[in-house]
Structure 1
């Protein structure tokens, strides 16, 4: 068991679901979505350009000033949510998510919807 989180695309024409990105026990990202969208277990939210830009900006601020991690994107407690340390693993998640959210800025939103969901 553990916290699994996904970004996925939905093709607007065919309703096909395409996994865009996967995170395992990146509780800080889950905390962002709980705090800002009150997302329940197995809930999903649609992401728009504003949300993508907001998350990307937070991730980059933490990437370039690691001491801000606990303030800007703090770890988030929960059942089987993994480590609460601001260590190599945490910053590896930050780097991966920053790349994913950067690329998400260039998705064709006329063709796809982008969603965030999680399960624990």
Structure 2
């Protein structure tokens, strides 16, 4: 049991689903989507270019100014959501997500949609 989060692509024509990225207990990312979209468990959000850019900029700022993590990308409490510390694990997730959202800027959105979903 725990918080599992996925970014996945869905091919527009065939509806084929391709896993893009996976996070386990990265509660700060879940908190971002809950605050922005008020999603519930197993909610599915189509991610816009605006959200991709916003998240990338926020994650990158946390990478370069880790002392601002609690303000920019705060941990988010929930059942089995993992650690609430701003430690090495938290910053590893920040780095991974920053890379994922950077690369998401270059997806062919004429062919694919990008979605976020989570389950706990």
TM-score category of the 2 structures, normalised to the smaller one: over 0.9
CA distance in structure 2 between the partners assigned to 1:40 and 1:57 by the alignment:
25
Which consecutive segments of 4 or more residues in structure 1 shift more than 6 A? Answer: none
Q: How many residue pairs were aligned? A: 120
Once the two structures are superposed, residues 45-72 of structure 1 have per-residue CA deviations (whole angstroms, 9 ceiling, x without a partner) of: 0011100000001100000000000000
CA distance in structure 1 between the partners assigned to 2:54 and 2:38 by the alignment:
16
Which ranges of structure 2 fall in alignment gaps of 5 or more residues? Answer: none
- The aligned counterpart of 1:42 is 42
The CA RMSD over aligned residues, in Å, is: 0.3
Q: TM-score, normalised by structure 1?
A: 0.99
- What is the Cα deviation at residue 41 of structure 1? 0.3
What SS does the aligned partner of 2:108 have? coil
CA distance in structure 2 between the partners assigned to 1:98 and 1:108 by the alignment:
19
Once the two structures are superposed, residues 76-96 of structure 1 have per-residue CA deviations (whole angstroms, 9 ceiling, x without a partner) of: 000000000000000000000
What SS does the aligned partner of 2:85 have? coil
Q: TM-score, normalised by structure 2?
A: 0.99
